[in-house]
Amino acid sequence: MSGKARYDAIVIGAGHNGMACAFYLARARRRVLVIEAADAAGGAARPVVFGDLQVPYAAHLDYGFSRGVASDMALDRHGLAWADRDIGASAFGIDDQQIDYALSSTDAPTAIGARDAAAWAPFRERMTRFASIIDDIAHRVPPRLAGAGADARAWLAIAWRLRRLGREDMREFLRIGAINMFDALEEHFEDPLLKGALAAEALIGHGLAPRSPNSVLTFFSRLSGTAAVAMPRGGMPALAAAMESACRSRQVAFRFGLGVRRIVVADDRAAGVELDDGQIIEAANVVSSADAWTTGVELIGAAHLDTGTVRRLRHVRGRGCAARVDLLLDDLSGLDRRLLGRRLIFSGDMDRLERAFNESKYGGVSADPLVELVFPTVIDPAQKTGARHLASALVQYVPRDANDNDIGTRTLDAARTVIERHLPGLFDRVTATRVTTPVDVERDTGIRGGHWHHAEIALDQFFMLRPAPTLSRYALPVPGAWLCGACTHPGGGITGLPGRHAAARIIEPGSSS
């Protein structure tokens, strides 16, 4: 390679984590180039055309974008506005029961018994307090286990957060974290649908069922921050557009439509990238928002890694289970618009969720899946560019099965069965469908397994163990090569935090950058 590198950093992928990382690096006066294989920024939230609408590729809602990242990037000045910052939820079982609730609110859900209504505020208050510990951890770069100085101070701060819970809550935090959502909810509530809806909140995006270990951890993650679910005006692609604009205002350069096929290693350190057309671009650092396996083994190459690292990368668990079903609808006349402006959670009770998960465990598409349905053009009329409306459903559990050519059809049929139970005749208004299963996500984003979080969220893949032991601090064993995507701490969902943490590590004095 030639002398001085053209860029201080090349970021692979213009998903929100790649862009958050690029922004913070550029703010620290690094020359940054973002290379994205797709034609637009946003990763799983990038805009794609569906009929006469622009829809997000997969991610349709904001479950907790970091307020800190939004403020640092001044996203409001780059066009970000909100259609709804706290979308209410309605849960449905298999009969006519409907429970309206908001995880962000101390108001008890509707249509539940007096005992459950009285239990709501104390349950929510305590869980939110526990979730604030996870939120605190999510906002930290994982410290070294045996490090001194800043590392030791970080561990002390975490211990102090726990200690401040008080003896009784500290004991309960450790106890409840070790059980599962099924048992935790059985202890607090009676209503089967309420328990199903709360379990569903913990499970969305995760390959877990109510009785799975780690489901309380994912519930705490869901409750972190305000616990509100939001939609930007213009949908999730508008958030991506604002991030791209903020990056450009810091002189970050972008290249779209060509992928990186190899991270170039010279003299035992990352020295740039080779694009799909063979072009080589030099950089002192290469930061990848692709998953850990793809970055380490496919882009860097096993020959540059020790066998222990390759083994650890192989064992990172992340098989996708979430699919997106988009529906274009002729009209919504006669339907309750107030209801369509909410998140509709077709969860049923916890046993139904468990059975749905069981089918996918053995490779099948759940015939009676968990569905979260929103009508983006009702929540945000600005998204309605033509005559038609959009309904967007998250469907779980749909396994990643590359050999199953009918998986899209069966996913659509399963979603239809569940949705029509509560909104009969809705599919008669459908004029076009778009189905995205984990295999599609893997093909279209390069994320191995097509998993929502690029790697499952579980205690053994969390914080200083994410994505794998010894790889938790964003640096790969090849100096100058870094990870910044959802496979790193604190995981996926559109938050911007992994990208911000990775940048903090790269610009840290004494880093290998």
Ligand X SMILES: Cc1cc2nc3c(=O)[nH]c(=O)nc-3n(C[C@H](O)[C@H](O)[C@H](O)COP(=O)(O)OP(=O)(O)OC[C@H]3O[C@@H](n4cnc5c(N)ncnc54)[C@H](O)[C@@H]3O)c2cc1C
Supply the Cα-derived Rg of the chain in whole angstroms.
Answer: 22
Residue 502's alpha-carbon distances to 54, 308, 499, in angstroms, are 31, 23, 5
Q: What is the helix (H) or strand (E) element at residue 438, kind and residue range?
A: helix 438-445
Residue 45 dihedral angles phi and psi, to the nearest 5°: -110, 15
Q: Does residue 44 belong to the site contacting ligand X (CB under 6 A)?
A: yes
Q: With the C-alpha atoms ordered 273, 274, 277, 281, is the resulting torsion angle positive or negative? A: positive
Minimum CB separation from ligand X for residue 378, in Å? 16
- Short-list 284, 335, 271, 270, CA closest to 477: 270
Minimum CB separation from ligand X for residue 255, in Å? 9
Minimum CB separation from ligand X for residue 14, in Å? 6
Q: Which two tokens stand for residue 374?
A: 């929103």
Residue 494, classified by CB atoms within 10 Å of its CB into exposed (0-12), middle (13-18) or buried (19+), is buried
Q: Which stretch binds ligand X (CB under 6 A): 16-24, 108-116, 145-153, 173-181?
A: 16-24
Site map 406..435 versus ligand X, x via CB under 6 A: ------------------------------
- Contact predicate 105/401, CB 8 Å: no
Minimum CB separation from ligand X for residue 171, in Å? 33
Residue 466 dihedral angles phi and psi, to the nearest 5°: -105, 135
Q: Which positions from 256 through 315 interact with ligand X, judged by CB under 6 A?
A: 259-260, 289-290
The count of residues interacting with ligand X (CB under 6 A) is 42
Site map 177..216 versus ligand X, x via CB under 6 A: ----------------------------x-----------
- Give the residue, chosen from 7, 10, 11, 15, that forms a contact with ligand X under the rule CB under 6 A: 15
Q: Does residue 494 belong to the site contacting ligand X (CB under 6 A)?
A: yes
Q: Which two tokens stand for residue 159?
A: 């211990």
Cβ distance to ligand X smaller for residue 21 or 119: 21
445 Cβ contact list (under 8 Å, min separation 6): 15, 38, 43, 44, 57
Cβ distance to ligand X smaller for residue 199 or 484: 484
- Contact predicate 68/80, CB 8 Å: no
Q: Which stretch binds ligand X (CB under 6 A): 73-81, 240-248, 415-423, 484-492?
A: 484-492
Q: Which residue has the tokens 């409306």?
A: 389
Q: Which stretch binds ligand X (CB under 6 A): 7-15, 152-160, 264-272, 474-482?
A: 7-15
Q: Which positions from 353 through 412 interact with ligand X, judged by CB under 6 A?
A: 394
Cβ distance to ligand X smaller for residue 305 or 439: 439
Site map 319..338 versus ligand X, x via CB under 6 A: -x-xxx--------------
- Give the residue, chosen from 285, 396, 445, 513, that forms a contact with ligand X under the rule CB under 6 A: 445
Cβ distance to ligand X smaller for residue 179 or 302: 302
Burial 343-378 (b: 16+ CB within 10 A, else e): bbbbbbbbebbbebbebbeeebbbebbbbbbbbbbb
Minimum CB separation from ligand X for residue 69, in Å? 12
- Short-list 288, 244, 240, CA closest to 264: 288
Q: Which two tokens stand for residue 109?
A: 């859900």
Q: Does residue 245 belong to the site contacting ligand X (CB under 6 A)?
A: no
Cβ distance to ligand X smaller for residue 36 or 380: 36
Question: What are 231's strand-pairing partners?
Answer: 84
Residue 224 dihedral angles phi and psi, to the nearest 5°: -60, 155
Q: Name the residues that contact ligand X, by CB under 6 A.
A: 12-18, 35-38, 43-45, 58-61, 63, 205, 259-260, 289-290, 320, 322-324, 394, 436, 441, 445-447, 450, 452-453, 485-486, 492-494
